[in-house]
Each structure stands twice: as structure tokens, then as C-alpha cells.
Structure 1
């Protein structure tokens, strides 16, 4: 595993881990460090490399994806697919050509700035999105028209031409003073629970997504972010890689990573029956900065557990809480209770172990990156 965090549960599962320098969500990545880290992992494996699976943070770097693909097989979206799906003006033109509803985009300036959002090209996790105040666009950003609706994601596997829908997940936000559209969590309803979206809308969004897959050759596990307002819907973007909903969706007999690999190799796997229970995951954000996390006895159903000694900035993620239950309401209650339990644990630790808090800084101790959402 090569990543910025080296969380406890990830390191317990991975045969090897190489840390990367940098900050998640910054929109850039050190190509030399990424390629050297991958080469080190390949050498440590001591055998043929099946391929590399890329997670969040590469959407704005198709050239780096191409450099990785020159050295290792890619299990997931290739550089041309990522470039076609994540360059905002090219993607808007593609949606227009395929008659897919997509909010208008502009390079700015615009006459009515309040009707637009400022987004970073290749951004992920929602933390990069702001309401436009002036209609002027910073370098590397663009304007997207504001449209109404509830946030959903169509999660699917793609084999380069077709898709197999896994679930329509409901999403919500955890606004912060400087990050009003920050991603919070998602849930998938159980097998027998009514879908909150009309079947005709789900079918139309699925068909549109498949047209995009056929046009771009996208492969592997991916998701389409949607805003849905009754019978009206908009496709905001395609996330061409496994994302934060992996914890929500990976509850079928066959591990989802295996199905991602199969689809990436052009073999669409059989999609097993939807789980009976509803499932969800939500990020627990830090109320204040922590200079060094002490050893903790983490509750069950907590993922992305930071290592002891890690630095966590105020409003950055502490961990991810998961929950399951008979319906969406039970899942939301379980997520709320889980986050409250984590926060109570941190407070108890502060009182009994001189938990260290201080002002936010860009990076954690030891040169590792401050924690940001990994959606």
C-alpha cells in the first residue's frame, strides 16, 4: 500500500506500506515519490505485479496516471478516460454531445456570481467547492452553475463499454466555516426498503452513465454524482475510481475489490443480490487540532484509525464510522451514536492522558500529510 496516512487498520491488512509526502486534496502529487514508492512495493512483492489500483487524489493528474501505466498495469481508469471525465470543459461538452443533463460551466467572470459555485479542476471530497462571491475564478478552478436537488451517487462497475449498477447511495455534507460543501457520509438502503428516487430517474441516470463509459472506455469501480429534484436530475461528475462508498458497498459475498479487478480486465462480474440490511459510513471530523494522538482502544465499526502519534488538524477527519441496520433511519442513528462515542473517547483520553491540542498547521508530525477526506 502506498498512501499519505498509514492508518492502523490499513497497515494491519497490508503486507507492506510506503508513506507518500504531501497533503490530500492539494490537487498535486510528487510524481517521483509516487513512482519510487510503487517500484519499492513491486520489488518487495518479489513476483509479477498484477497491477496498480489508484484511489482518490489522482483525478487532476492524468500525466502521472500515464507514467504509472508505463510501468505497471492499471486496474481501473486509464489516463485518457480520467482526462475525458475530469477536465471540466471537455466533460461538459461530452455531456452536451450525449444529451446528458449537466450544470453549465464557465471560466468566468460572470455577471451573477451568486448563481455559481467555484470548483477546483480534478478536485474531490467537496472541500474544494465554494459559493462564488465575485464571479472571478482562481487559477486551476472553474465555475459551475448552482442547481437544486438532493445528493446521490450511482455506484457501478464498468468494463469499458457497459455498466453494472451496484447501488444508488444517498449522500450528505458536514459544512465547515471555510468548507461549506465538505463531504460527510453516504448510505445504501436495504434490499426491501423503498428507494427515495423514482425508478425512471435511476434508469435514465444509469443509461446516461453507460453512454459515458462507452464514450471514454472507463473500467473498474466508479460512481456518478447526481443532484435529483423530483423527476429532474443533473449529472455533476464521474468519480473514475474506488471511493469512500467502498465501506458502504462491500457487503456482498464476493469482495468488491475482486470485482473491480475483474471489470478492469474487461470481464464484467456477476452482481450478487443486494444486501438485506442498509449500510452507511460517515466521517468523524476533529473539533480541534491534536498534536499527537495517544494510543486508543477504538470502538468496533471504526475505519481509517490514525496511528498513535499522528497529528490531526481541526476540522480534519479523525476516522470513518460505519453502521448497518434494517433501514436508513437505523443506519443514521447508528452513525450518529458511533461518532458520539468516538468523540467521547477522545474527550476521555484528553482528560486522563494529557491529550495534546494546539493550533492547526498544514502537516502532521513526522512530515506526513494532514488528514483530509478521501472520498
Structure 2
């Protein structure tokens, strides 16, 4: 495995690991260094089944293409990512398919308050800012503001059609300079009131299927939407396994197995929605941890930073998961757990 963090729980599970250079959300990865890591891992152990890409590649279809020439890619192709993550191409595709999507432009806007500034291929919400009167800088664009609550439909795609996996609701955890920073996600319990009306979910499912047919997307992906009453807008397609895995991967069929099968042309049934709700919350560092101390991490904490590693203020510290009788309960429990964790770290005197 190659990633930017080398978290303790990742290292405990990974047979082999290489630490990539860079900072999450800061832009393009070093392609040459990444390819060298992948080549090294492939050459020093059992022959890998293939490469599954996570976040960080949405603005780099050229790098995806380079990886695909040297390793078997299990998931979205470079062409599919280019079609779905170029904001102008994606908006045009949505218009052609009659999918509701906010207007976008690379030019200056007359009323900046009605627009947001976003980075091409950005993820996690930290790249989103209020627009200004100036034209967007290279690699950025303006998107019209629309009202609504954030949700996502996770689905499996085989290049022609999709199989829905689950619906989640998202929330933001804004900071002073990152007002749209991703906070977490929750999946509703099986017998509780659904997060979205079935008719709306069906409409989003049809839209996602149309986009898959048009782009040849394969693997596990998600459609991010904003919902305002009966109206909805498709904000983007994330052409990869995403952050909602922490709440969705509770089915009888592991979602990574279903991802690989979908890429190979088989849409597996992953099973019913679990009986309880689940939430996953990003716990951001409220101060600099230099370094993170040895800690007996609770079982409900994922992405645990290694003891001795630094975590900068505002960076993701870990992920806290929780289950509950319904979505509201699970979300509240995750918040309480995050608060207790921050207090515990603060009492250790490891911040500066």
C-alpha cells in the first residue's frame, strides 16, 4: 500500500507499505515518486491483483494513464476520470443528459456572492472558497451556489449500469479559512425514516446510471448531491471508493471485493442496509501535536496517527466511528467520542 499518512492501523493491516511525499488536499502528487513506490511494491512481493486508487488523483488523469501502462488498474480509467472531473466537461455532460447541476464558469462572475470558487479535482471540501470578482486562477473554476443539504449515493458501476449500495448524509466541519471542510457522514438504520424519499433516490440512481453509460466508469463510486425539499442538484461524481466506506462497509459482501468485481463486469449484491445506523466523523487537530504520544486508541478510532509523528493544527487527526438506533443518535455518539478523544490528548500535554 502507498499513502500519505502511514497510520498505525494501516501499517498493522498492510502487508507492505510505502509512504508517499506530499500533503493531503494540497494538489497533485509526485507521479515519478509514486510510480517508483508502486513498481517497488510489485517487484518485492506476491504479484498484485491490481491497483485501487483512492483520493488525490481526480485532477491527474494523465498520472492515472501512466499507472495503467505499468500496473493493472482496478477502477475508473483515465478517460472516465477526465470526463467526470473536468468541471466544464462534466457540466456539459449533465446538461446533455438532463441532470440538474449548478452552472460553472472559468471566467469572472458579475455577482461573486452567488458563486463558489473550487479547485479542479478537489476533494474533502477544504478547497472550496467564496468566489471573488477576479477570474478563477489556473486549475480553478466558479460554481453557482445552490441551497440544500448534502447527501451521497454510493454505487457500483460496471461501465454500463450501476447497482446502488447506500445513501448517506454529510455535514461540514468548518474552520476559519475552510468554511466547507468535510466533517463526516452517516447512514440511516434499516427501519428508521429514510434519509431521502425513495422517488428522489430513484432519480439520482437514474442520473448516475446515465453518467456511467456515457463515461464507462467502473468500480465503487458515489454521486454527491444537494437536496432542498423535492429539488436536488448533482454536485459531482467521485469515481473511486470514498470516505463513506467507514459507514457503508458493513454488508455481508465486502465493498472492496464488490469494487473489484464491478470493474471486471459483475455487479454483486452487497446485502441489505444494516439494522443500526452508523456515523464516521473526521476529528481535526485543534492544535499542533508535536509529536502524537503513545496512546491506547479506543476501538472506535480509525486512521490512528503513529506515536511520534507530527499532526499540524487543522489537519485530519483521525476518524471516529459510532453506531446508534438512528442517524441522529449515531452522529451524536460520534461527536461525544471525538470530544472525549480531544480532551484526552489535551490532558497528555502533547500540544504546543
Task: Identify the residue that residue 202 of structure 1 maps to in structure 2.
Answer: 201
Distance 1:43 1:162 in 2: 35
Measured after TM superposition, the shift of residue 291 of structure 1 is: 1.8
SS of residue paired to 1:209: helix
Task: Identify the residue that residue 311 of structure 2 maps to in structure 1.
Answer: 312
Measured after TM superposition, the shift of residue 135 of structure 1 is: 4.3
Task: Identify the residue that residue 371 of structure 1 maps to in structure 2.
Answer: none
Tell me if structure 1 keeps the 8 A contact 2:167–2:195: no
Distance 1:196 1:152 in 2: 9
Q: CA RMSD in A?
A: 0.9
Q: Does 1:232 align with 2:231?
A: yes
Task: Identify the residue that residue 99 of structure 1 maps to in structure 2.
Answer: 98
Instruction: Number of aligned residue pairs: give it.
Output: 352
Q: Does 1:141 align with 2:105?
A: no
Task: Identify the residue that residue 33 of structure 1 maps to in structure 2.
Answer: 33
Q: Does 1:81 align with 2:80?
A: yes
Measured after TM superposition, the shift of residue 103 of structure 1 is: 0.2
Task: Identify the residue that residue 126 of structure 1 maps to in structure 2.
Answer: 125
Tell me if structure 1 keeps the 8 A contact 2:188–2:195: no
From the superposition, tell whether residues 49 and 196 of structure 1 become closer, same or farther in structure 2 (CA, over 3 Å): closer
Task: Identify the residue that residue 2 of structure 2 maps to in structure 1.
Answer: 2
Distance 2:327 2:151 in 1: 14
Q: Which of structure 1's runs of 4+ aligned residues deviate more than 2 A?
A: 133-136
Measured after TM superposition, the shift of residue 356 of structure 1 is: 4.3
| TM-score (normalizing by structure 2) | 0.98
Tell me if structure 1 keeps the 8 A contact 2:168–2:195: no
Measured after TM superposition, the shift of residue 315 of structure 1 is: 1.2
Distance 1:144 1:356 in 2: 38
Measured after TM superposition, the shift of residue 134 of structure 1 is: 2.2
Measured after TM superposition, the shift of residue 247 of structure 1 is: 0.7
SS of residue paired to 2:109: coil
Task: Identify the residue that residue 187 of structure 2 maps to in structure 1.
Answer: 188
SS of residue paired to 1:166: strand
SS of residue paired to 1:45: coil
Distance 2:118 2:271 in 1: 36
Task: Identify the residue that residue 19 of structure 1 maps to in structure 2.
Answer: 19
SS of residue paired to 2:340: helix
Alignment of 1:308-347 (within 5 A): 308-347=307-346
Task: Identify the residue that residue 116 of structure 1 maps to in structure 2.
Answer: 115
The structure whose RCO (Cα within 8 Å, separation 6+) is larger is 1
Q: Which runs of 5+ in 1 are unaligned?
A: 358-375
Q: Which runs of 5+ in 2 are unaligned?
A: none
Distance 1:19 1:292 in 2: 18
- The superposition leaves residues 150-170 of structure 1 with CA deviations (integer Å, 9 ceiling, x where unpaired) of 000011111111111111100
Task: Identify the residue that residue 152 of structure 2 maps to in structure 1.
Answer: 153
SS of residue paired to 2:348: helix
Distance 1:127 1:222 in 2: 20
- The superposition leaves residues 91-148 of structure 1 with CA deviations (integer Å, 9 ceiling, x where unpaired) of 0000011110000001121111110000000110000000113243122100000000
Task: Identify the residue that residue 373 of structure 1 maps to in structure 2.
Answer: none
Task: Identify the residue that residue 63 of structure 1 maps to in structure 2.
Answer: 62
